[in-house]
Amino acid sequence: MMRYMKNGFTDTLSQSFLLLVLWLYHFTWGFLLLMLVKSVVVPLMHRYPGEHLSAAASQLFLAESQFRLVKTDISHPYIWLLVGVAAARMLLTPVLNAGVYYSLANPHLNAGYRFLQGIKRLSGSFFLYYVLQMAITLAPVYWLFPVVKKAFAQHADYASLSLALLPWAAGYAAFGFLIRLLFMYVQFGRTTESGLGSSLGLFVRKLPAIVLLACLLLALSGAFTAAALSASLIWAGLTALIVQQLLHITDMVFKLWTIASQYRIYAD
């Protein structure tokens, strides 16, 4: 297991071009979302009565806001904008994954060339896989909705409600985790042109090692993120800003490390 992690980490460090592309991609999305939220929230905050007015003014503001949200179409442009942003993200994610997977499978090619070749050759297939993955991942929500609705009706406080829903939430998280790993190997098979049946068979045979490796890297990533966030709370100012930016970079490293390590299992 440690061999896969070590070799995957070596592969990750050799993919400086991919790390830069991933960081720019996530930075751009974060910036766009920040600007979107700012364009909506800041005008609302200018209209908020504030502490210098009476509580009745704040209640009137909230009542007016609720009325306009429920009875008018004021929220529709923002909803459609969010839908458009989500759709664009869904279109770009498999395209980016196509370049990443092809780059890992063809390290002998030039970094920029193999990334663009992956997008050219695999984007269509990866988009179909992504849609299918989302459909399978969201399918249990149809059966979970009545469970959640019943729990809300039976439990009066959030503590008991959380305890009642915790097993269902854990089961759904585990299901989504396995589906994500499964489609990772399906995409490995498409990248190497080894066939769907071969990839699924390998996934079943090596499932314990695949899950263990994924859990180890997930735990390591979580521990590092928790340590970095704790440090940013302790060290305020410029140090906290630097830590936050480094956290984004290390997040990209862990994501690529996970894919590279799993590919090592696949190629073994």
Tell me the DSSP string of 59-95: HHHHHHHHHHHHHSSTTHHHHHHHHHHHHHHHHHHHH
C-beta separation of 114 from 138 below 8 A:
no
Q: 10-residue block means of pLDDT along the chain (268 residues)? A: 88 88 83 77 66 63 65 72 82 91 90 91 93 94 87 76 87 95 95 89 93 93 81 64 72 91 92
**CA separation for the pair 99, 94 (Å, rounded):** 9
* Distance separating the N- and C-terminal Cα atoms of the chain: 12
**CA separation for the pair 19, 250 (Å, rounded):** 10
pLDDT for 94 equals: 92
**CA separation for the pair 241, 222 (Å, rounded):** 19
pLDDT for 242 equals: 67
Kindly report the number of other CB atoms within 10 A of residue 214's CB atom: 19
C-beta separation of 251 from 30 below 8 A:
no
In this structure, the dihedral spanned by the alpha carbons of residues 104, 108, 114 and 118, taken in order and rounded to 10 degrees, is -50
Global pTM value: 0.83
Tokens of 159: 């503590």
Tokens of 188: 């490995």
pLDDT for 38 equals: 76
Which residue's entry shows tokens 């458009």? Answer: 84
pLDDT for 51 equals: 62
Rounded (10°) angle between helices 2-13 and 238-267: 120
